[in-house]
Amino acid sequence: EIVLTQSPGTLSVSPGERATLSCRASLSVISTYLAWYQQKPGQAPRLLIYGASSRATGIPDRFSGSGSGTDFTLTISRLEPEDFAVYYCQQYNNSPWTFGQGTKVEIK
């Protein structure tokens, strides 16, 4: 099973600032098989990024993904109030599909 470790656990950022979230895999993951999700309290997750770097439909361009192999990054260039949430990475490289434990982005 591929373990995804996200860091930091919590990120305190001011609106308008940049947020950088990390996802590290225990085994190499093909970029095609790496996705990112956003989850707000009381809501279902929402797909943000697929293929490590492609934005899903309707996702603003302040969200970007990058990385390869075992190290992936989600960057939010200028945080808007609605971006404060928990973010999860997920892999499809090897079954069982696994999620990271999440990074909470909170208002500083």
Partner 1 sequence: QVQLQESGPGLVKPSGTLSLSCAVSGGSISSSNWWSWVRQPPGKGLEWIGEIYHSGNTNYSPSLMSRATISLDKSKNQFSLQLSSVTAADTAVYFCARDSRVTLFYGMDVWGQGITVTVSS
* Sites of contact with partner 1 (CB under 8 A): 1, 32-33, 35, 37, 39, 43-47, 50-51, 54, 56-57, 88, 90, 92, 95-102
CB of 15 to partner 1, least distance (A): 25
Beta carbon nearer to partner 1, 7 or 32:
32
Beta carbon nearer to partner 1, 12 or 32:
32
Give phi and psi for 32, each to the nearest 5.
-55, -30
Torsion of CA 42, 48, 74, 25, to 10 degrees: 90
| Element containing residue 21 per DSSP (H, E) | strand 19-29
